[in-house]
Structure 1
Amino acid sequence: MVNEVVVWCLISGAVALILSSISLSIIKGRSNRRHGVAFFHPYTNDGGGGERVLWCAVKAIQEESSDLDCVIYTGDHDASPDSLMARAVQRFGVELLYPPKVVHLYKRKWIEETMYPRFTMIGQSLGSVYLSWEALCKYTPLYYFDTSGYAFTYPVARLFGCKVICYTHYPTISLDMISRVQDQNSMYNNDALIAKSTWLSLCKVIYYRLFGWMYGTVGSFAHLAMVNSSWTQSHIESLWRIPERTKRVYPPCDTSGLQALPLERPRSSPAIISVAQFRPEKAHTLQLMAFSVAIGNLDADLPRPKLQFVGSCRNKSDDERLQNLKDKAIQLKLEGDVEFHKNVMYRDLVGLLGGAVAGIHGMIDEHFGISVVEYMAAGAIPIANNSAGPKMDIVLEEDGQQTGFLAQTVEEYADAILKILRMPETKRLEMAAAARRRAGRFSEQRFYEDLKAAVRPILSHAS
């Protein structure tokens, strides 16, 4: 009996000590809040559209409130104020007004998907709570700005007394994801083993619904939720239930620089470009298969096209995925027709876009599709998945003129490729010009204006 009492006393003391430490951290953070905006973006070298949003958001805040310090929470230990400022220019053509401050995070492994072979969403979400705790203990800002979609960090930021702003590229979970599991459809986020089992699918639906409730709860802690498309907005409003605090701000696309490129393209060796990170959901294999089918059905009098994959790799898994894609090209006997460009500089990307007659994009439920807009602005006719952002916001008629193609299957993508290759030059130029006009709706300048308008009420009511 005495031993049990001693054990319980020790446990109670340990719990009290932990809670006391947490309370002291929160009190200290609240009392030492800095006059700044801290951007939670653990990966500042991912090279995708999310990173472009980060640097444009930083620039917008610098222009809107020059008295506020801009701070980056990053897990990239070699990142420095000067290197990040240089990266923004070299990779994305975004010139910041002054270098941002940097807070290095050392617990980033807890949000790596490799840490959670099962229950990945909840694992990464809880890991982000731990990571945000490290961030906020090191630097507590007036405004906590999440640009990476870690909604579970918002209650933590509120505990530290921060105003929470977020830019959500896509919901961590959506009703579409739940529907696919219910329908037992196999995809990159629904293992074939689970899809084949009614019992396992039921368990996963329950898990998804529970996670969806949790996600909706933590998301509602945001003072301002900016979303990047109509599709994302509909899901976030359904899950977070804060429509009055949800604003659609289309992401920044380099339409002005790309629109300066000539619409005329060399017809002797037409290029089809695919710009996307080498992630599973980007469906690079589908694109490669569609290109193979198109090559097989190519008219004898048409020049043989090239497919150019351009993208970045975040980690070892992405590198392996890229190598598998190269191996698949060899297997399909396309090694001479397919090029791979990894982690290219922005000026090189512009050059590649300027030489492409078409741009292909394969992701299902792409929340927006910055690369699709970039194709259109550059004069490359887009071929995008017939869903979400490209379908609802981007590849729509402009002044009654078709601006591109939507597809879903390998055959549909191949058919669209052949239509573009067979298109008379005058018709291609007309469609490319209409697509370019459409792309002007998603300019970088429009992003700056809309983001500033959205955050202005929050910044002007600092507590």
Structure 2
Amino acid sequence: MTRLISYFDVMSLLTLGALLPLLSYFLFSSYANALRTKNSTKREEIRSNLGITKEDGRKLKFVGLFHPYCNAGGGGERVLWAAVAHIQRTEPDMISVVYTGDTDATKEDIIKKAKSRFDVTLDPETLHFVFLNSRRLVEGSTWPYFTLLGQSLGSMVLGWEAMSKFIPDVFIDTMGYAFTFPIVSLFSVLSLGTFNVPIGAYVHYPIIHEDMVSRVKSRKQWHTNTGRIANSEMLSSGKILYYRFLLYYYSLSLRRTSFIMVNSSWTQNHVNAILNHSDWTFDLIHLLIPPLGLIKLFLGYEWFSKKNGDGQPKDAPSGSSSGRREARIVYPPVDPKEMVKFPLEGREKVILSLAQFRPEKDHPTQLGAFAKLLKAHPQYRTGKDSVKLVLIGGCRNAEDEARVDALKRLVGELGIEDKVEFILNAPYPDMLRWLSRSSIGLSTMVDEHFGINVVEFMVSGLITVAHASGGPLKDIILPYKGKRTGYHATTPESFAEVLHEALSLSSLSTEAEAEAKDEDIAIRERARESAMKRFSEEEFVKGWDENGWKGWF
């Protein structure tokens, strides 16, 4: 009897072992079929909502652009809408699908703001929005501790929601959520290869890079490294390990892309380093712990590919590469149509700041430098040489509003209330008016990934003063025809000094300063010509086509 039971037990196990693969394949096939049906229905729904009938014979393609804060009105959104407008002009059979968490705005609201803020006209007939409800998971306030890790995991949830609602023909993240890439790839696996979605990215700023690790190692206090951590060896060691962990997985996620565009040489250098990043400690951990090894395999393996044998996309532009190990620079565009008309002479003594009220923009340094300028040179407080600081920026949420309140308190503490003005969420025409009036443009962000505001200053004819790092140092405020196009500084003291130098150029109190006036105009002319040549919308769309998504359908 025991032998008989054992025989049946063995036979049952063998039968179950044979059936499990078949059952798994059946479940996968059923899910893949449901996925295909749902997505096909969604495509027809989008076509119908846009008023495109099947009878017109158009074979539509869908490009998905992942930008959860598409209505924020910052430089990243300028890139997004310039890309969408270009696609609409050149690809009439392509539908731009924007994944956004701006559920408090309608399609009409977003299109209107793109026109108001950036003067970009979008065609509603080839633009569709997929509204995401879990955006709170990528907000810093949701994760008071281990913020970067929480936001990264939250972006994976957000990416799952996006793909569950609609799977495009190509997926491009234009905001910096690289951890969505494994999720997009997962849908290729779940659909058994039905949805072979190439992944692209336009990276404004890597979420983690070696400089951040170095700052923690050197125990330097920063807006990403609080004094409590910087002053503790144990906490600093823990944070280094945490950063190494994030950097390792960030590298694996970025490698899922078919192409990567970046906004500056600073970003390119960091992204290329991340793409080639390795860490033997985590490699060993993945080797010793099989479940983690499977995660690494999933992140790093090219499950389905539309590349040719040489690693190029089909119909790729001549000389292009797959971009898996090398990012290509595509400078953000500036719209010069109005700005280039602004006169260079007769500017008011206004120092203008254009930056969203985020911590990394470092508005306190602007206020501190301005206060030092007024203290060292009292003539700028009253009379004909009186100078004013105007801060224009977007407020995305309650956190930004609280930050502005703190800045206003700082203004009071510095005793410069009558010399500083805050303008929040200014419409595009208002911003243009300030650009046409102001004399100096000020940007104090350290390691600014690009600095579209700096380009706007230069095109508008302002003398620009920016931090000596990142894009403003390496890409924008460069000598033109061997001569100066602006100024750099690093500390509140050095910013105050160069602000005084720039203001002195436009002073006309005596005939002896006529030469300084000539140099003032010459700097403005050179800056405008240099920026116009390198950062036009024409250059942007050319780079977008040559280094971006074409050839991946």
Alignment TM-score, normalising by the size of structure 2? 0.77
Deviation at residue 81 of structure 1 after TM alignment: 2.8
Confirm whether residue 126 of structure 1 aligns to residue 208 of structure 2.
no
1:193 aligns to 2:228 (yes or no): yes
| 1:451 alignment partner in structure 2 | 544
- What secondary structure is seen at the aligned counterpart in 2 of 1:37? strand
Aligned counterparts of 2:545 and 2:342: Cα–Cα separation in 1: 29
Question: Structure 2: which amino acid aligns with 1:425?
Answer: K
CA contact (8 A) 1:256 1:443 kept: no
Specify the alignment match of 1:442 in structure 2. 535
Q: 1:18 to 1:413 in 2, by over 3 A?
A: farther
Letter in 2 for 1:403: T
| Aligned pairs for 1:21-420 within 5 A | 28-29=34-35, 32=39, 34=43, 35-99=61-125, 100-160=127-187, 161-241=196-276, 242=323, 246-267=327-348, 270-298=349-377, 300=379, 303-420=385-502
Residue identity matched to 1:290: A
The alpha carbon displacement at 1:158 in A equals: 2.1
SS of aligned partner of 2:104:
coil
Question: Percentage identity across aligned positions?
Answer: 39
The structural deviation recorded for 1:259 is: 1.2
SS in 1 for 2:155: helix
Instruction: Give 1:5's aligned residue.
Output: none
Matches of 1:22 and 1:336 in 2, distance apart? 67
**CA 1:244–1:199 in 2, change beyond 3 Å: closer, same or farther?**
closer
The 1:102/1:25 distance shift into structure 2, 3 A limit, reads: farther
1:4-55 C-alpha deviation (Å, 9 max, x unpaired): xxxxxxxxxxxxx999999866664456365301111111221110111110
Contact 1:25-1:137 at 8 Å conserved across structures: no
Superimposed CA distance per residue, residues 135-189 of structure 1 (whole angstroms, 9 cap, x where no aligned partner): 1111110011111100000111122331111110010111111111110000111
The amino acid of 1:45's aligned partner reads N
TM-score by length of 1: 0.91
SS, match of residue 425 in structure 1: helix
How far does the alpha carbon of each residue in 1:311-345 deviate from its partner, in whole angstroms, 9 at most, with x for none?
01111110011011111112212111101100000
* TM-aligned CA distance change 1:129 to 1:23, over 3 Å: farther
2:519 alignment partner, one of 417, 424, 427 = 427
Q: Is the 8 A contact 2:170 2:552 kept in 1?
A: no
Contact 1:359 1:375 in 2 (8 A): yes
Instruction: Give me the whole-angstrom Cα distance separating, in 2, the residues matched to 1:30 and 1:130.
Output: 21
Q: Provide the rounded CA distance (Å) in 1 between the counterparts of 2:30 and 2:367.
A: 55
In the TM superposition, what whole-angstrom CA distance separates every residue of 1:198-232 from its partner, at most 9, and x where no partner exists?
11111111111111010000011011111000010
Shift in alpha-carbon separation, 1:129–1:20, aligned structure 2, 3 A: farther
Q: Give per-residue Cα distances to partners, 1:384-415, cap 9 Å, x unaligned.
A: 11111111101110111201111110100000
Contact 1:274 1:361 in 2 (8 A): yes
Alpha-carbon distance change, 447 to 26 in structure 1, aligned in 2, over 3 angstroms = farther
CA distance in 2, matches of 1:217, 1:120: 20
Further displaced range: 49-58 or 418-427: 418-427
Instruction: State the secondary structure of the residue aligned to 1:354.
Output: helix
Specify every segment of 5 or more residues in structure 2 that has no aligned partner in the other structure, as ranges. Answer: 1-22, 44-60, 188-195, 277-322, 506-515
CA contact (8 A) 1:261 1:354 kept: yes
Deviation, 1:257, is: 2.5
Q: Compared with structure 1, are the counterparts of its residues 210 and 426 closer, same or farther at alpha carbon in structure 2 (3 Å cutoff)? A: same
Structure 1 SS opposite 2:439: strand
**Per-residue deviation, 1:381:** 0.8
CA distance in 2, matches of 1:292, 1:333: 8
**Change beyond 3 A, Cα 1:203–1:350:** same
- After TM superposition, give the deviation of residue 66 of structure 1 in Å: 1.8
CA drift of 1:244 comes to 5.3
Whichever residue aligns with residue 262 of structure 1, its letter is P
Task: Return the offset for 1:266.
Answer: 3.5
The one-letter code of the counterpart of 2:76 is G
The farther-off stretch of 242-251 and 352-361 is 242-251
Amino acid of the structure 2 residue aligned with 1:230: S
For structure 1, which runs of at least 5 residues remain unmatched after alignment?
1-16
Tell me the distance in 2 between the aligned counterparts of 1:435 and 1:129: 42
Q: Distance in 2 between matches of 1:227 and 1:146?
A: 12
Q: Secondary structure at the match of 2:130?
A: strand
Relative to structure 1, the CA distance from residue 201 to residue 264 in structure 2 (aligned partners, 3 Å threshold; closer, same or farther) is: same
CA distance in 2, matches of 1:445, 1:361: 25
* AA partner of residue 265 (structure 1): G
Deviation string 1:60-114 (CA, Å, 9 cap, x unpaired) is 2223322111111111113333222222111101112445111111111111111
CA RMSD after TM alignment: 2.1
Contact 1:228 1:249 in 2 (8 A): yes
Report the Cα distance in structure 2 between the residues aligned to 1:166 and 1:127, rounded to whole angstroms.
Answer: 18
Deviates more, 1:392-401 or 1:80-89: 80-89
Q: Which amino acid aligns with 1:179?
A: S
Q: Residue type of the partner of 1:172?
A: I
Higher mean displacement: 234-243 or 359-368: 234-243
SS at match of 2:417: coil
Helix, strand or coil at the partner of 1:382:
strand
Q: Say which SS state the counterpart of residue 385 (structure 2) adopts.
A: coil
Q: Distance in 1 between matches of 2:108 and 2:263?
A: 29
1:299: how far off? 5.6
Once residues 218 and 477 of structure 2 are traced to their aligned partners in structure 1, the CA distance between those partners, rounded to angstroms, is 28
Q: How far does residue 459 in structure 1 lie from its aligned partner after superposition?
A: 3.5
Q: Give the Cα separation in 2 of the matches to 1:18 and 1:330.
A: 67
Larger C-alpha radius of gyration, 1 or 2? Answer: 2
Deviation at 1:420, TM superposition (A): 1.0
Shift of the 415–317 alpha-carbon distance from structure 1 to 2, 3 Å rule, reads same
- Tell me the residue number matched to 1:12: none
